[in-house]
Amino acid sequence: MQILASIKCIPSDYIQWRNKMRLTTRNPVLAVFYAFLRGVSVSKAENIMLAKPSKLNRVYWNAEYANDGNNNPGSTPARSRYTVNPYWQGDLQGYFTVHNISVTSDVTHNLEKDLGSAYVEVHASGNSGCPDDIFICGQCPEVVGKGETFTFTCSHPQPVRFVKVRRNMTGRLVISEVVVQGTPATTSAAPNCLLATNPEDAAEAMGWSKFTIDGCSSYDSCE
């Protein structure tokens, strides 16, 4: 009888806490649903490249197909013509700290090979040909499968505005989708003074030469 009496005296707030812990640890899906019902938001990271201006250096299929949010079988990819160093570039329309960039190969037309060995870069200036304005986040493998997504973590030192996917060869570039996650920058500076070349990554890029800002920019200093 004493045991039964002690059970009846368990505080109700303890029971609620115990049940909630069971819900959280035993069924994560229900835990997320519970959080939603309780008014706790479970949000997906924003794609800051979605529907932003973009371009190809030689257009075959429109550049905006690579950042229209449509990445399903049957969708049309961005596709360049056969050219030297084909590239796709997107404008974030502001300066950001980029955290991750995901690039997906063609999912529809069996053109996935045309993303092979592509470099994924961020730039402060969209028109600068100066290597000091380039930070390489990563490179796709030489052999790419259909609908494969490659995610690169960027750790660039200063804010950037442009994202570029580029093949250092003569050929085509085909991209199903580019997704970028990042946060707005709190500071800004003259675009050509924002970045220094990432020495380790730049060393892997074939045919590149090392220049200083004075040698390829109209800016004399980064003050």
Q: Enumerate the β-bridge partners of residue 91.
A: 162
If one counts the domains in the chain, the total is 2
| 49 in any annotated domain | no
Helices 28-37, 12-26: axis angle to 10 degrees equals 130
As a whole number of angstroms, the distance between CA 210 and CA 132 comes to 8
Give me the pLDDT at residue 126, please: 80
**What's the pLDDT at 152?**
98
Asked whether residue 22 falls in the same domain as residue 99, the answer is no
Would 222 be classed as within a structural domain?
Answer: no
pLDDT for the residue numbered 112: 98
Q: Per the structure block, which two tokens stand in for 163?
A: 């994202």
Strand partners, 171: 83
Q: Residue 78 domain-assigned? A: yes
In a shared domain, residues 143 and 185: yes
Token pair 């649903």: residue: 33
Q: Does residue 47 fall inside a structural domain?
A: no
User: What is the CATH classification number for the domain harbouring 70?
Assistant: 2.60.120.260
109 and 184 co-located in one domain: yes
The predicted pLDDT at position 11 comes to 55
In which domain, by residue range, is 101 found? 54-203
Does 90 fall in a domain? yes
Looking at the structure, tell me whether residues 135 and 73 fall in a common domain.
Answer: yes
Q: In the numeric block, which tokens belong to residue 95?
A: 């300066």
Query: What is the structure's pLDDT at 30?
Result: 44
Per-residue pLDDT of the chain (223 residues; tens, 9 = 90+): 444 444 444 455 555 555 554 544 445 444 444 444 344 433 467 999 999 999 999 999 999 999 999 999 999 999 999 999 999 999 999 999 999 999 999 999 999 999 999 999 999 988 756 766 789 999 999 999 999 999 999 989 889 999 999 999 999 999 999 999 999 998 655 444 444 444 444 444 444 433 333 344 433 333 3
Helix (H, G, I), strand (E, B) or coil at 192: helix
Q: Is residue 208 part of a domain?
A: no
- Asked whether residue 46 is assigned to any structural domain, the reply reads no
